Amino acid sequence: MGDIYTDTMRRSPSRNELVEAKNENKMKILGQPEEVAKCIVSTSGENISFSTGNTIILDGVK
């Protein structure tokens, strides 16, 4: 998974480390927790009942 910009990440890394993390993926952004949540919600429940054992990659096109 690509880097997700969480509260811990906001407090921990230096500005240079954040820029470096952004530049590690082709989209040049950090993922947001809400984006991960949307993926989890969209792949759970009755709408995806035919799918089993899949891997979903959230990596910002790393």
pLDDT digits (tens, 9 = 90+) for 11-55: 877 888 888 888 888 888 899 999 999 888 888 877 777 777 778
pLDDT score at 45: 77
* Amino acid symbol at 61: V
Distance CA 60, CA 3 (A): 8
Instruction: Give the end-to-end CA distance of the chain in Å, rounded to a whole number.
Output: 9
Q: Is the pLDDT of residue 2 over 70?
A: no
Alpha-helical runs (H) found in 1-62: 7-11, 15-23, 33-42
CA–CA–CA angle 51, 55, 61 (5° rounding): 130
Does pTM top 0.75 for this prediction?
Answer: no
Are 32 and 6 a contacting pair, CB within 8 Å?
no
